[in-house]
Amino acid sequence: MKRFPDIRRGPVLLLAILVWVSGLDARERAVEIRSRCYDCHLNPSPPQGTDRGPLIDESVFKASVHGSQRCENCHRSVISLPHEKDLPPVSCTDCHRVDNTVGAPKLRSYREYEQSVHGRLVAEGDPRAPRCQNCHGDHDILKPAESASHVNKLHIASTCGQCHFEVEKAYEASIHGKTLIEGNLAAPVCTDCHGEHDILRPGEEGSSVSRDQVVNTCAVCHEDIVKMKMFGLTTATVESYRESYHGVAYKFGSDATATCIECHGHHKILAPENPASPVNEANIPKTCGQKNCHKGAGPGFAKGKVHVSFEKTPEKYAREGRDRTFAKVFHIVELAFISLTTSVIFGMILYMALDLYDKWVRRKRRWILFLSVTTAPLALTFWIVWKVVLSFIGKLHGG
């Protein structure tokens, strides 16, 4: 029996061909559009009558995280070619949002950015305010872990320095900056202290470098045992500050007490051994004597020890040699002082308790005497009245 083709497969096959052709057409159009973009933006000598605009390195763009994307995916305001000279900034949030369906990382960074000092300035129309492209790049965006990325840890300072150039210079001269330049990625950079997309002004509530948070921010590294061991430092520095007068006053909300930055500085933090450091022995009187602190501080301020570790384990002492011995002696003196203070306070409490007990006993005795003196006449009077009443009642009955 002769078999005929199954005509039911025809529509399916036709649909598949149409989908393939439409996809091919879309790819051809994408290639055509990119080719037309490249006519100007890859060509140092663009067609006559056109403004080339920014010159793009095709190899750099293709190596970027967006290398497979089409030009119009980002430049959505371009609806015809040649396009207008002044285009609006590219909106990264078109793709980089939590509910995106294009495969972009689903992060909340854009929300944090909108609420940051940078995002608010952009919303206010400040032309100097940084957008995503100012930090991450435009056609050369790479993942942060890649060494050539603008937001790789080794390049963070220079990226922020595009706007904050004086701060960048100060940071590069600091102990943190020099350590990073030497290639040690454990050193803190701008984002470790200020944050990334959620940067706020130092005076704003919630800022990681605000007065309320700066000690905790410094402690992220300076309480990290692994990091401090790497640099030959001790984690007891933060603990000793919190146990000091400054630390206790700070904990209870004092606005006048010193925090880390009042003594060590902020962007240009130097090692204590550096003659220019504000905590160098020669500069301590000036540092302690600054405005709103210990006015008139003299050389005696430099004789005391700061951040003395009270740990009994030798390797946890803040310094070696003479300071280690001093720390041990200081620890003994501290224990003696605590014992003496505790004994005095306990003695006062005991004295007050005995005094109150004595007064209570004496008052109890006086109360008994009072009752005996006042109750006897009253009882006698009551007894006499009672006898009179009984005799009067007896006469009535007998009479």
Domain termination residue (choose one: 87, 106, 132):
87
The tokens describing 249, both together, are 């006053």
The answer to whether the Cα torsion of 227, 228, 231, 232 is positive or negative is: negative
Q: What angle do CA 307, 189, 215 make, to 5 degrees?
A: 35
Question: Is 8 contained in some domain?
Answer: no
185 and 155 within one domain: yes
Domain termination residue (choose one: 199, 218, 251):
199
Question: Is 54 contained in some domain?
Answer: yes
Distance CA 294, CA 343 (A): 32
CA-based radius of gyration for the chain? 41
Question: Is 210 contained in some domain?
Answer: no
179 and 111 within one domain: yes
Question: Is 130 contained in some domain?
Answer: yes
The answer to whether the Cα torsion of 164, 168, 170, 176 is positive or negative is: positive
Distance CA 305, CA 69 (A): 60
**C-alpha count within 13 angstroms, C-beta hemisphere, residue 258:** 20
Three-state secondary structure call for residue 130: coil
Per residue of the chain (399 residues), give pLDDT as tens: 445 455 455 555 555 555 444 444 444 454 556 677 887 888 777 666 666 678 888 899 999 999 988 888 898 888 888 888 888 889 888 888 888 888 888 778 888 999 999 999 999 999 999 999 999 999 999 999 999 999 999 999 999 999 999 999 999 999 999 999 999 999 999 999 999 999 999 999 999 999 999 999 999 999 999 999 899 888 888 988 998 889 989 999 998 899 999 999 999 999 999 999 999 999 999 999 988 889 888 888 888 778 765 554 444 444 434 456 666 676 777 778 778 888 888 888 888 877 777 777 776 666 666 666 556 666 666 666 666 555 555 544 444
Domain termination residue (choose one: 87, 103, 136):
87
Q: Provide the residue range defining the domain that includes 330.
A: 305-337
How many domains are contained in the chain? 3
Question: Is 179 contained in some domain?
Answer: yes
Question: Is 189 contained in some domain?
Answer: yes
- In this structure, how many other beta carbons lie within 10 angstroms of the beta carbon of residue 182? 8
176 and 153 within one domain: yes
CA 71 → CA 25, 36, 77, distances in Å? 17, 10, 11
